[in-house]
């Protein structure tokens, strides 16, 4: 079963715009990770945020974590066509057993 | 430095057959986890191997088994294949002593006819 849900399920934007995806989960966690997946292939790790952190940046990515609301958000700034992919959040409660959400399909049009 | 590798890339089997998928972890990693991703869904955890033993297991039947070798590579075996086993099988590797990030391979696409 899935741990939580990403919202929205699908997002369509123009190049240069920002994209925001949200993730909700159900149980306490050690950390939360965001992954990107292109065309049903392998997952690419984007960023990890630990339960005692509230915000983290990596290049054009900004991730926030609110453990009181059991939610996280991923912001991609100045989107590019190459950002078109599915994005998944995954929670790690113990021993690196990742529980994934259902994913957000992002389409960035030129 | 090679990342996580998986073989084969694609595989077609018929119901009732058995299949073995292989994974080589990223250099320096000692933990291998396997995930099943059905079309349109997020990956689901099958099991994890560390020190050649199954350390954790998800909600999968005993038809799914695995092995980890002394060089940390791993195999996933599925017996008595069902149509519902058609999926992308992902292997992820990590290091117990170097943080929690898991690195995924490109996956094996299994089709059961």
Average pLDDT over residues A87-109: 91
Q: Which residue of B has its CA nearest to A96?
A: B100
User: Total domain count for chain A?
Assistant: 1
CATH number for A102: 2.60.40.10
- Put simply, the chain A residues between 45 and 104 with a CB less than 8 A from any chain B CB are 45, 48, 88, 90, 92, 95-103
Distance of alpha carbon B85 from alpha carbon B104, whole angstroms: 20
Q: What is the mean pLDDT of chain A?
A: 92
% of residues, chain A, pLDDT over 70: 96
B88:A45 CB<8 A: no
A11-20, A90-99, B83-92: least confidently modelled range: A90-99
20-49 of A, contacting B, C-beta below 8 A:
30-31, 33, 35, 40-45, 48
Q: B47 pLDDT exceeds 70?
A: yes
pLDDT, tens digit, 9 for 90 and up, residues A2-33: 566 888 999 999 999 999 999 999 988 989 99
CA angle B70, B72, B78 (to 5 degrees): 100
Domain B5-112: give its CATH superfamily. Immunoglobulins (2.60.40.10)
Residue ranges covered by each domain of chain B: 5-112
The pLDDT score that the predictor gives to residue A67 is: 95
What pLDDT score does B97 carry?
Answer: 64
Instruction: Provide the pLDDT for residue B101.
Output: 86
Mean pLDDT, to the nearest integer, of A35-50?
91
The answer to whether residues A63 and A49 touch, using CB atoms and an 8 Å cutoff, is: yes
Peptide bond into A8 cis (omega under 30): yes
Interatomic CA distance for residues A37 and A81, integer angstroms? 14
The C-alpha atoms of residue B89 and residue B107 are separated, in whole angstroms, by: 5
- What range does the domain containing A101 cover? 5-109
Residue pair B104/B92 in contact (Cβ under 8 Å)? The answer is: yes
- CA closest to A42 among chain B residues: B106
What's the whole-number average pLDDT of chain B?
Answer: 94
Q: What is the pLDDT of residues A58-81, one digit of tens each?
A: 999 999 999 999 999 999 999 999
pLDDT at site A94:
76
Q: How confident is residue B74, by pLDDT bands cut at 50, 70 and 90?
A: very high
Pair of tokens at residue B82: 């069902």
The verdict on a CB contact (< 8 Å) between B39 and A48 is: no
**B45 close to A (CB below 8 A):** yes
**Dihedral, CA of residue B16, residue B83, residue B57 and residue A67, to nearest 10:** 180
CB contact under 8 A, A43 and B39: no
Those residues whose C-beta lies under 8 Å from the C-beta of residue A40, and which sit 6 or more positions away, are: B37, B39, B88, B107, B109
Specify the residue for token string 């590798």. Answer: B5
For A13, the token pair is 């934007």
User: What local confidence, expressed as pLDDT, does residue A3 receive?
Assistant: 61
């Amino acid at each position: 079963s899935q741990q939580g849900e990403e919202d929205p399920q699908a997002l369509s934007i123009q190049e240069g715009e920002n994209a925001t995806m949200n993730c909700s989960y159900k149980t306490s966690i050690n950390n939360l990770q965001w992954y990107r997946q292109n065309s049903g292939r392998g997952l690419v790790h984007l960023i990890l945020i630990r339960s005692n952190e509230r915000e983290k940046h990596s290049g054009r990515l900004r991730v926030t974590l609110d453990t009181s609301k059991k939610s996280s958000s991923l912001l991609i700034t100045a989107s590019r066509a190459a950002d078109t992919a599915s994005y998944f959040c995954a929670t790690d409660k113990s021993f690196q057993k990742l529980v994934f959400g259902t994913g957000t399909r992002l389409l960035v049009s030129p | 430095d090679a990342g996580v590798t998986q073989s084969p890339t694609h595989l077609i089997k018929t119901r009732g057959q058995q299949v073995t998928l292989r994974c080589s972890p990223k250099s320096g990693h000692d933990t291998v986890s396997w995930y099943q991703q059905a079309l349109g869904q997020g990956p689901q955890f099958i099991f994890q191997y560390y020190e050649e033993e199954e350390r954790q297991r998800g909600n999968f039947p005993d038809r799914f088994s695995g092995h980890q070798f002394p060089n940390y590579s791993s195999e996933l075996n599925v017996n008595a294949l069902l149509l519902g086993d058609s999926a992308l099988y992902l292997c992820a590797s990590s290091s117990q002593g170097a943080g929690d990030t898991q690195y995924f391979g490109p996956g094996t696409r299994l089709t059961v006819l």
